[in-house]
Structure 1
């Protein structure tokens, strides 16, 4: 017996569509480490070390990503909560991601990040 794939089942896979010149790439959101604003573009960094320049501002990319997986920590940075490996304190707070990137984070966003990590770990 064949089962029908519903739109809800597809959405639960947490995919994002990235547009390229001659193809649409369908990417698992879990493979994204972070997204960085680059004026009217966004640079998306992946766990395999590659990146993709998207012709959308960060604000539009943020709308497409799962709010339970991603957090905007700065006006220029959106991160995958699961990619945070440490919080660096002393002076201004910063976070370190699994790819070694260190990014600034406001104290308000730091509290949200900590709560999100706690919820993320409960899955």
Structure 2
């Protein structure tokens, strides 16, 4: 790439941010676009600045590095910085995603930048370099205990235990949790694949239900049934959905 690279530094440790800035000074093709202390700050900065490269801490307050990528949809131009041990980083090795293990040297830092430049050049040449990162985020999401929803510049963190049901609406899903509703750009099938099948069941092509929220199953008509929730809401149940419910409840 001929033009300078805009780099965003994201780390909750000030000393780590200072070290990255010091190492970056030796690279004439780098412009520091900004720095962030929390995951929430990083979400806003990524949306506003759209940097070429992000030096991203994995463990941070409020949102982790992977959660930042999930909320923003960022899938390229990322170098993780972390204090994780080598064993915990096996997932990153398997996905060929580069990371810097703290404390890291100038030499190791430079190697990561070289790799990042090659990946960014490959992307501009039309070669996809985002699949590994997407897979890593998806696999980590399978272990999630909360949903992250960005709406009108705000990031909502919704605990899975608070979710009552989710309904599909065109290209969105509407998540009903603890008396509130949140809209997210995601398919119902994608969310279903991420959630624990022992806790959430697809009761209808357009509805996903939390078993903990279920109060009873009642007839809506001669040939149809509804799930009545503890909050009073009613969710339609298809024949296939009724079979799934029976298998889980028996």
Instruction: Give me the TM-score of the superposition, normalised by structure 1.
Output: 0.74
Q: Tell me, what secondary structure is at the counterpart of 1:30?
A: helix
Contact 1:74 1:106 in 2 (8 A): yes
How many angstroms does 1:24 deviate by? 3.6
Question: What is residue 111 of structure 1 aligned with on the other side?
Answer: 243
Q: Tell me, what secondary structure is at the counterpart of 1:112?
A: helix
CA distance in 2, matches of 1:51, 1:14: 18
Per-residue CA deviations over 1:68-87 (Å, capped at 9, x if unaligned) read: 21111111101101111011
**Higher relative contact order (CA closer than 8 Å, sequence separation 6+):** 1
1:79 partnered with 2:79: no
1:1-123 equivalences under 5 Å are: 14-47=145-178, 49-89=179-219, 91=222, 92-118=224-250
Contact 1:96 1:103 in 2 (8 A): yes
Across the aligned residues of Structure 1 and Structure 2, the Cα RMSD in angstroms comes to 2.5
Q: Tell me, what secondary structure is at the counterpart of 1:37?
A: strand
CA distance in 2, matches of 1:15, 1:104: 25
Give the structure with the larger strand fraction: 1
- The answer for unaligned runs of 5 or more in structure 2 is 1-83, 89-141
- The answer for unaligned runs of 5 or more in structure 1 is 119-123
Per-residue CA deviations over 1:7-36 (Å, capped at 9, x if unaligned) read: xxxx76722222334344332101000101
Q: Kindly tell me: are residues 99 and 64 of structure 1, through their superposed partners in 2, closer, same or farther at Cα, counting changes over 3 Å? A: same
Contact 1:82 1:117 in 2 (8 A): no
Number of aligned residues:
111
Give the structure with the larger helix fraction: 2
Q: Tell me, what secondary structure is at the counterpart of 2:186?
A: coil
Per-residue CA deviations over 1:73-109 (Å, capped at 9, x if unaligned) read: 1111011011110110351122111221222212332
Question: Computing the radius of gyration over CA atoms, which structure comes out larger, 1 or 2?
Answer: 2
